[in-house]
Structure 1
Amino acid sequence: MTDNRAAFEKFVDVFYTKKRVREAFDFLVAESYVQHNPNIPDGPEAAITALTPKFDGSPDARFDIQRILVDGDLAMVHVRASYPGRPDAAVADIYRFANGRIVEHWDVLQPVPADAVHGHPMF
């Protein structure tokens, strides 16, 4: 896969929209996957194990894609994550590609506040 944008858009659809974690990771994530989230070990299997309950296992959860950015070997998705009974969260997931596969991941999460000090939306 040499077109990172097309591959990443498919990954985002399968992972965030359809919530099929294993299918998304099998499609695009390399065995050498490095995880920068401090709560998940390296490797695709560890990520699949940690993320499946949050995605596949949460039928009422929604992950609304706000924007996708791809620049060379880096890709980012900005997501509004909604779980019933919890405040929404703004999520930015950043991925690095090598040889057409995702090899590295960082994430940033922020709760969506009920009130902001300004009128700017988070999304």
Structure 2
Amino acid sequence: MSTPEQNKELVLRAFDTLFHKRDYAAAAELWSEDYIQHSRHIAPGRDGLFDLVRSLPPTLRHEHQLAVADGDYVILYGRYSGTGQTASVVADVVRIDNGKLAEHWDVWEDEATRTESASDSPMFGDTFPPER
């Protein structure tokens, strides 16, 4: 059984492998063949996720600001950008099983500019994105 710290490291390595390196063979070793996807914008299974990433521009970036683990669950608080659309701030929830990413949920929101923010606080990091 892996520790929460090992689970965080696994999820961070998996996200880097898929979203930045785009190494699908290596990513397939990190995601379960029986991967369950709960996101409304991603088709089922590991292939649904990989196909989505293949369809996105190579400028796609995932930055994480916080990683929290509790047992077999890891939550990454991060931002997806570089797609030519508004950046999104996301909480990705991943369940680990047998050393692989087995299940995923997310909470997804467009990143607000200063003008759009009722709170006057950035959603990610210490600065607002440029006005649109």
Tell me the TM-score normalised to structure 2 length: 0.75
Q: What are structure 2's unaligned runs of at least 5 residues?
A: 125-132
1:4 is matched with which residue: 4, 7, 14? 7
CA deviation map 1:67-106 (0-9, x unaligned): 2122110012122222354222111111101121111111
Q: What are structure 1's unaligned runs of at least 5 residues?
A: none
1:33 Cα deviation from its structure 2 partner: 0.8
2:127 aligns to what? none
Q: Compute the RMSD of aligned alpha carbons.
A: 2.1
1:41 Cα deviation from its structure 2 partner: 3.4
Rounded to whole Å, the distance in 2 between the matches of 1:35 and 1:90 is: 19
Rounded to whole Å, the distance in 2 between the matches of 1:97 and 1:118 is: 35
Rounded to whole Å, the distance in 2 between the matches of 1:98 and 1:24 is: 17
SS of residue matched to 1:118: coil
The reply to whether residue 20 of structure 1 matches residue 10 of structure 2 is no
Identity of aligned residues (%): 30
Following TM superposition, where does structure 1 have runs of at least 4 consecutive aligned residues deviating by more than 3 angstroms?
A: none
